[in-house]
Amino acid sequence: MGSLEALQDRFARGTAFVMRVRLEDKPDALGPVLAAVVKAGARTGEIQLAEHPAGAMVYDIQVFTTGDEQMAAARQAAAAVKGAEVLTVLDPAMETHRGGACETRSRTPISSNTDLRIVYTPGVARVCKAIQADPANAWEFTNICNRVAIATNGTAILGLGDIGVLAGLPVMEGKAAIFWEFARISAEPVLIDTHDPEEFITIMEKLAAGFGAIQIEDVAAPACFHITRELDRRLPIPVFHDDQHGTATIVLAGLLSALKKTGKNIERMRCAISGAGAAGTAIADMLHIAGIDDVVLADRAGILYRGRKENMNAEKVALAQRTNKDNIRGTLADAMAGRDLFIGVSQPNLVSQAMVASMTKAPIVFALANPVSEITVAEAYQAGAAVAADGRMMNNALAYPGIFRGALDSAAESITVDMMLAAAAALAGLVPQGQLMPKMMDPATHQAVARAVANAAQKP
């Protein structure tokens, strides 16, 4: 990791801005501005010359801050420097999303009337007739072999909650951008503006002919379980809920990697999970399949046990049946005491160092709440963790692009548990020495996941 990345990591819980400053064209003009930013508590990163008008220099200065308030202070401090004028402050996230993060383009140039008559009438009629004669031809002669729906109802957008489909659209577009960049998959946001799970299912079912696979995204629990299961049952294409299946795959990959580092045995693991929503439920099931038979979950009402009445729903009643084998009760702290593995998919700052210290010696701690984790990695290590990681290190974008690539390449009808286990094993096998997870930016990572998933899909 370069030093700039390291610096950005230090401030990753905050916000990086770009401040455009106009200075007098003097050799010593920049230094005082940088000093002022630092004095306001912020940090400076990259500095680029944006313009060079007569008698002046205009710089774009990257400013790492804890948030809007610190940025305002840094701006004020910079503006107070003699000869400096702050022209604007840009948020790179807003600028990157300006005009959208994805777009739909032609795959073929149209530069003559002949081209037009091939891509459209009369030529296209022959393609239509070929599909009418045999619907299987659609896989070869349309883009559905490579097209994924990213479908949401806007009810659980990031950690922001039920902010609606429109406010959630940048997340879907961001995911579409990731699909393209990491796996050359053509993914489209599908905003389904309904709070009724049955209506969501019906609508997605009626739209499904246009897609080769469906990613359910940021749909709140417990509706997400029924929606995902039911669509997967009804449709002949994979239906994958990233918050469940993607997160569970990444957790298993991280666990396999951590076990390799620590020499521990997966079957002896006793696990506590904070959060009993989409992610927690799927992780508990995945760990069970991977061989861990002692998993306890806790949510805001404490440990999930058979017979609990508080904060329950049908999904949690069923989950309590298949976890917590000793049916213990208590708080999250009680759940963690004496356990080897903690997985947080819940809320910021729920876990203290004392809670980590109460686990077995040298436990594994994955605190994955986003953007602020249950406990920081540094604090977890200080409290005795052998391996600690947060959501920045264990990012779903390591898994789902390759999983969908593999599923599409093998024309799979579902993404099975075997395919997810194969993805997790492939990821764990790619981890560089001294790291927990493989390299996100290396295309080989996503290609290896795709191959492993396609192979697992094709097994009888």
Give 97's DSSP letter: H
- At its nearest, how many Å lie between a copy of itself and the CB of residue 341? 24
**Which listed residue (26, 39, 59, 120) is catalytic?**
120
Residue range at the interface with a copy of itself (CB under 8 A); choices 104-112, 223-231, 274-282, 290-298: 104-112
- At its nearest, how many Å lie between a copy of itself and the CB of residue 89? 13
Q: Centre a 10 Å sphere on the Cβ of residue 266 and count the other Cβ atoms it contains.
A: 15
Write the binding mask 62 to 91 for a copy of itself: x where contact by CB under 8 A, - elsewhere. -----------------------------x
Among 124, 318, 362, 444, binds a copy of itself (CB under 8 A): 124
**Residue number, 5 or 293, with CB nearest to a copy of itself:** 5
Among 27, 53, 82, 206, binds a copy of itself (CB under 8 A): 206
Q: Is 381 known to be catalytic?
A: no
**Residue number, 106 or 433, with CB nearest to a copy of itself:** 106
The amino acid that residue 323 corresponds to is: T
Size of the site for a copy of itself (CB under 8 A): 104
Q: Rounded to whole angstroms, how far apart are CA atoms 237 and 410?
A: 11
Among 110, 328, 354, 444, binds a copy of itself (CB under 8 A): 110
Q: Which two tokens stand for residue 26?
A: 């003097």
Q: 342 has which bridge partners?
A: 272, 365
Query: Contacts with a copy of itself in 384-403 (CB under 8 A)?
Result: 391-392, 395, 397
Residue range at the interface with a copy of itself (CB under 8 A); choices 80-88, 199-207, 233-241, 304-312: 199-207
- At its nearest, how many Å lie between a copy of itself and the CB of residue 328? 34
- Are 123 and 115 spatial neighbours (Cβ–Cβ below 8 Å)? no
Q: Rounded to whole angstroms, how far apart are CA atoms 10 and 311?
A: 36
Residue range at the interface with a copy of itself (CB under 8 A); choices 157-165, 270-278, 334-342, 429-437: 157-165
Question: Taking CB under 8 A as the rule, does residue 209 contact a copy of itself?
Answer: yes
Number of alpha carbons in the 13 Å side-chain half-sphere of residue 256: 23
Q: Based on C-alpha coordinates, what's the Rg of the chain?
A: 25
Closest CA to 167 of 148, 153, 179: 153
Among 47, 50, 73, 119, binds a copy of itself (CB under 8 A): 119
Q: Is 309 known to be catalytic?
A: no
For residue 436, give every residue at least 6 positions away whose Cβ sits within 8 Å of its Cβ, in sequence order, or none.
254, 257, 258, 261, 387, 389, 393, 394
| SS3 (DSSP) at 320 | helix
Dihedral pair phi/psi, residue 70, rounded to 5°: -65, -35
- At its nearest, how many Å lie between a copy of itself and the CB of residue 15? 7
Query: Contacts with a copy of itself in 165-184 (CB under 8 A)?
Result: 165-171, 173-178, 180-182
Write the binding mask 128 to 147 for a copy of itself: x where contact by CB under 8 A, - elsewhere. xxxxx--x--x-xxxxxxxx
Question: Taking CB under 8 A as the rule, does residue 188 contact a copy of itself?
Answer: yes
Q: 62 has which bridge partners?
A: 18
- Are 195 and 227 spatial neighbours (Cβ–Cβ below 8 Å)? no
- Are 219 and 240 spatial neighbours (Cβ–Cβ below 8 Å)? no
The catalytic residue positions are 120, 175
